[in-house]
Amino acid sequence: MTEKKFPRAHLITGGFPPGSMAGHDHDHARLRLLGLLAERDVPASVTNDFADIEKWLPVTRLLITYVAGPYPNAAQCRAIRTWVEAGGHWLALHGTSGGRAERVEGVRQRRTVKTEHHALLGSFFLTHPPICKFRVDVREGDHPLTQGLGRSFEVEDEPYFIELQDPGSTRILLTAEYGAGAVSPIVAPLYGSDTSLQPDGKTRVLGYTREVGNGGVTYFAFGHCHNPASRQGRPATDEPPTFRGSWENDAFIKLLRNAIAWGTLAATRSDTSGGPLNLVSTN
C-alpha cells in the first residue's frame, strides 16, 4: 500500500525588530492561515522571519509570508529563487511587499528601500492611506486563484500603493480604483511620483501571480489586522482598537483557500511523489 504524501507549507509571520508586532496582529493572521492549511491537511512549520529559510525550503511546497518588516537578504533571496524555479510556490501577503525603510529629510514617514526581494516578489510597497472600504475588481474570474469571487467584491482594509517590478511577466488578477477619498500626499516627497498607478491613471494592482521557472509567486495586498497591543506606542487615530478587516471578509478567505489549493497543487505537479523538491546548491 502506497503511503499518501502531504505537501508541506512553511509560514512566516512576524514584525521587526524581533518580538515587535510592528502595528499588526500577527497572531491572528498566523492562526487563520494555519486553520486554512489544516482544512486541506497541509502540515506547516512556522517562524517569525527569514533567518533559517534555507533549512525549511527543501521540505516545503508552499511558502506563505505575512510580515511587517522582515525580508529576505540577498543570500536568502537566492535560496528562495532556486526553490521557486524548482517548482515551489510563494504566496505573499500584505506587508511582504515592504521591508527595510529609511528616513527622508523633512518627511515624518519613512521610505521603503528597494532590495533583491522586491525583484523576486514582483512588487514594491510605496505607502497606503488610512483604512477604508473599497471595491476590488476581478480581472480574471476563470483563473484558479480567483474562481468563485465574481466580478468584484468589497473589502475594508489598508488601500495599498504598490509598484510592479516586472509588468511583462506579471498576470494581474485584482485591481481597485480608490477614488478621491484615498489619496497619499507623501508619495511624491518620498518617491518622486506615484508609480503604483496603472496607465489609465486611476487603477492600482492589488493581486497578481507570476511564473518563475517551474514555480511561481502570488501576491495579495490585503490582510491588515491589529489589536490594542499592536497599536501601543503608535499615534492616535480614529481606527478601532481591534481591526480584522479582510480576515472577516468571505471573498478574502475564498481567495486564500484558492491560493493554498492552487499553490500546493502547482508545486506538486513538478514532482508527483509529494516529497521534497530537488534543489541545487546556492553556494
Entry pTM: 0.92
Q: Which three cell numbers stand for residue 281?
A: 546548491
Cβ count near 242 (within 10 Å): 14
Residue 239: the pLDDT is 85
Return the half-sphere exposure (C-beta side, CA atoms, 13 A cut-off) of residue 139: 16
What is the rounded distance in angstroms from the CA atom of residue 220 to the CA atom of residue 173? 9
Contacts of 56 (CB under 8 A, 6+ apart): 10, 45, 47
Reduce the DSSP state of residue 40 to 3 states and report it.
coil
Residue 104: the pLDDT is 93
Residue 272: the pLDDT is 38
- Residue ranges and CATH numbers for the domains of the chain are 9-269 (3.40.50.880)
Return the half-sphere exposure (C-beta side, CA atoms, 13 A cut-off) of residue 213: 16
List the pLDDT tens digit at each of the 283 positions of the chain: 445 577 999 999 999 999 899 999 999 999 999 999 999 999 999 999 999 999 999 999 999 999 999 999 999 999 999 999 999 999 999 999 999 999 999 888 899 999 999 999 999 999 999 999 999 999 988 999 999 999 999 999 999 999 999 999 999 999 999 988 788 888 999 999 999 999 999 999 999 999 999 999 999 999 999 999 998 877 777 789 999 999 999 999 999 999 999 989 854 444 434 444 544 333 3
Q: How many helices (H) and strands (E) does the chain have?
A: 7, 13
Residue 182: the pLDDT is 83
Cβ count near 232 (within 10 Å): 9
What is the rounded distance in angstroms from the CA atom of residue 89 to the CA atom of residue 83? 8
Residue 270: the pLDDT is 46
Pairing of β 152-157 and β 44-47: unpaired
DSSP letter assigned to residue 226: B
Q: Which three cell numbers stand for residue 154?
A: 468589497
Residue 179: the pLDDT is 86
11 burial (CB, 10 Å; 0-12 / 13-18 / 19+) is buried
Residue 153: the pLDDT is 98
Q: Is-contact 70 24, C-beta < 8 A?
A: no
Residue 4: the pLDDT is 58
Distance, CA of 68 to chain centre? 10
What is the rounded distance in angstroms from the CA atom of residue 95 to the CA atom of residue 279? 28
Residue located via cell numbers 488601500 = 159
Report which secondary-structure segment, H or E, holds 138. strand 132-138
Reduce the DSSP state of residue 219 to 3 states and report it.
strand
